[in-house]
């Protein structure tokens, strides 16, 4: 089907086209406790097509997926529709990516069976006990082959593994049973890392059994030491996106500090070409641009935008790309130093969110540790709120870093003066 689509696109009278052909071989396993609930295989191919048409001073684009089972007539019809629909889209002119020479890498199709075996073995080697164990888990392992082509002659292929493990942990005492939820993403299976993460979650589960209602703390420093911290760093990354800036949703300016009157650590954020065992190590982005290392925010000052070809060109950035991996550098203090004084360390939220546009943070506390004058109280319930626009003025990041799939971030992040609503009066 792919060859037919390319042939039809060349004949369609477009002013540009892009095709992404993604083939996925996926293995999935679903367990209740340690019993197999279901096994699944995915063997699919998706061909996504974009057509560009120039008219007046505009460049219009229309997209669709053309089913791999489409007949030639169906494909002709779909491409014809795209050509007509592109003329409805009045966007300022921009150009598609051109072929770029980068050092060739040897790519081999990932061994789905071997990765699956690693996951299955890890799940059988966890330190479960009578008080904390695994309720259920779902394993998703896939090998992806992504080929990108455009009318400028780009024809590049990336092959990589992509995995996900959803794990639900239970802990119980004579009174009740609780659960904690985790979703891990990676390239292949990081056996030791996954074992360590789930072991830590089992410990948190046991702690939650003794949790008390979070008190009304009013304003309190909050320490983030789990994947919730990713939301904080994604706030910085997303506000450096050319699409956000072009649409006036980010007020940051290159060469200027992202926050004034900063008393805490100044943030440095980079885009990275690759990160060990990330599921986003493709050498090219979704539009065929080569991916490279790039400093986005340097010591608190906005340095480079990143983003799609369209919005980057509108912003005057010619060599931009959509990175797959990011890193936030550590600060000046150790994780231990950041855990001094009075603070609330929250290790489990219902759903912690940071709004990119406004900076508003919100999340219900499922498990936290309130440290006050040397005493530690395990707490649950209540919520955090406030805005990153204030918090980034006094934010501290540990020297130590921790990797979550495609993000390398400080292992511990401390925000000052977060509003805490308690779970009880």
- Interaction with other proteins in 193-252: which residues (CB under 8 A)? 216, 218, 243, 246-249, 251
Bridge pairing between strands 35-55 and 132-150: unpaired
107 binds other proteins (CB under 8 A): no
Question: Which positions ≥6 away from 175 have C-beta within 8 Å?
Answer: none
| Selected binder of other proteins within 61, 144, 266, 371 (CB under 8 A) | 61
12 binds other proteins (CB under 8 A): no
**Torsion-angle region of residue 24: left (phi > 0), alpha (psi -120 to 50) or beta?**
beta
Q: How far is the CB of 329 from other proteins (least distance, A)?
A: 27
**229-241 burial code (b ≥16 CB/10 A, e <16):** bbbbbbbbbbbbb
- Give Cα separations from 193 to 185, 189, 275, 294 (angstroms): 12, 9, 15, 27
> Do residues 142 and 115 lie in contact, with contact meaning Cβ atoms separated by under 8 Å?
no
The per-type count for the chain, helices as H runs and strands as E runs, is 9, 21
Beta strands in 310-359 (DSSP E): 325-328, 343-349, 353-354
x-or-dash string of contact with other proteins, 125-154, rule CB under 8 A = ----------xx------------------
17 binds other proteins (CB under 8 A): no
**Torsion-angle region of residue 291: left (phi > 0), alpha (psi -120 to 50) or beta?**
beta
| Token pair in block for residue 21 | 């052909």
For other proteins, the closer CB: 45 or 145: 45
| Selected binder of other proteins within 129, 212, 340, 385 (CB under 8 A) | 385
Q: Which of residues 298-337 bind other proteins (CB under 8 A)?
A: 310-311
For other proteins, the closer CB: 252 or 304: 252
User: What are the phi and psi torsion angles at 79 (to 5°)?
Assistant: -70, -35
256 binds other proteins (CB under 8 A): no
Q: How far is the CB of 215 from other proteins (least distance, A)?
A: 11
Residue 277: which of 124, 407, 138 has the closest Cα?
407
45 binds other proteins (CB under 8 A): yes
For other proteins, the closer CB: 2 or 159: 2
For other proteins, the closer CB: 120 or 159: 120
37 binds other proteins (CB under 8 A): yes
113 binds other proteins (CB under 8 A): yes
For other proteins, the closer CB: 78 or 154: 78
| Selected binder of other proteins within 179, 200, 238, 337 (CB under 8 A) | 179
């Amino acid at each position: 089907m792919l060859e037919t689509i390319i042939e039809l696109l060349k004949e369609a009278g477009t002013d540009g086209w892009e095709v992404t052909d993604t083939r996925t071989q996926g293995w999935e396993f679903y367990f209740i406790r340690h019993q197999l609930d279901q096994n699944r295989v995915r063997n699919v191919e998706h061909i996504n097509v974009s057509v560009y048409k120039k008219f007046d001073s505009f460049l219009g684009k229309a997209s669709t997926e053309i089913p791999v089972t489409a007949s030639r007539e169906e494909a002709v019809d779909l491409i014809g529709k795209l050509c007509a629909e592109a003329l409805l889209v009045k966007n300022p002119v921009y150009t598609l990516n051109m072929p770029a020479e980068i050092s060739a890498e040897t790519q081999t199709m990932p061994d789905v069976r071997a990765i699956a075996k690693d996951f299955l073995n890890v799940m059988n080697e966890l330190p479960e006990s009578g008080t904390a164990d695994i309720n259920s888990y779902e394993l998703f392992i896939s090998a992806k082959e992504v080929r990108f082509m455009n009318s400028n002659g780009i024809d590049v292929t990336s092959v990589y593994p992509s995995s996900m493990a959803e794990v639900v942990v239970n802990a119980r005492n004579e009174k009740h049973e609780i659960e904690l939820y985790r979703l891990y993403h990676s390239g292949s299976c990081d056996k030791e890392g996954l074992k360590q993460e789930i072991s830590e979650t089992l410990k948190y589960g046991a702690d939650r059994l003794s949790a008390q209602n979070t008190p009304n703390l009013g304003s309190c420093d909050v320490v983030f030491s789990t994947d919730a911290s990713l939301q904080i760093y994604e706030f910085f990354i997303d506000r450096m996106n050319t699409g956000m800036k072009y649409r006036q949703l980010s007020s940051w300016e290159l060469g200027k500090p992202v926050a004034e009157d900063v008393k805490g650590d100044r943030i440095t954020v980079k885009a990275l070409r690759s990160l060990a065992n990330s599921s986003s190590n493709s050498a090219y982005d979704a539009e065929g641009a080569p991916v490279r290392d790039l400093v986005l925010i340097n010591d608190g000052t906005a340095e480079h935008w990143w983003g799609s070809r369209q919005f980057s060109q509108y912003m005057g950035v010619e060599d931009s790309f959509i990175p797959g991996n990011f890193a936030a550098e550590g600060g000046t203090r150790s994780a231990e130093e950041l855990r001094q004084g009075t603070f609330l360390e929250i290790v489990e939220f219902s759903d912690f969110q940071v709004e990119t546009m406004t900076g508003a943070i919100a999340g219900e506390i499922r498990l936290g540790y309130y440290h006050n004058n040397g005493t530690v109280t395990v707490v649950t319930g209540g919520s955090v709120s406030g805005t990153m626009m204030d918090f980034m003025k006094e934010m501290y990041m540990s020297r130590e870093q921790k990797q979550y799939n495609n993000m390398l971030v400080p292992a511990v992040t401390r925000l000052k003066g977060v509003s805490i609503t308690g779970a009880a009066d």
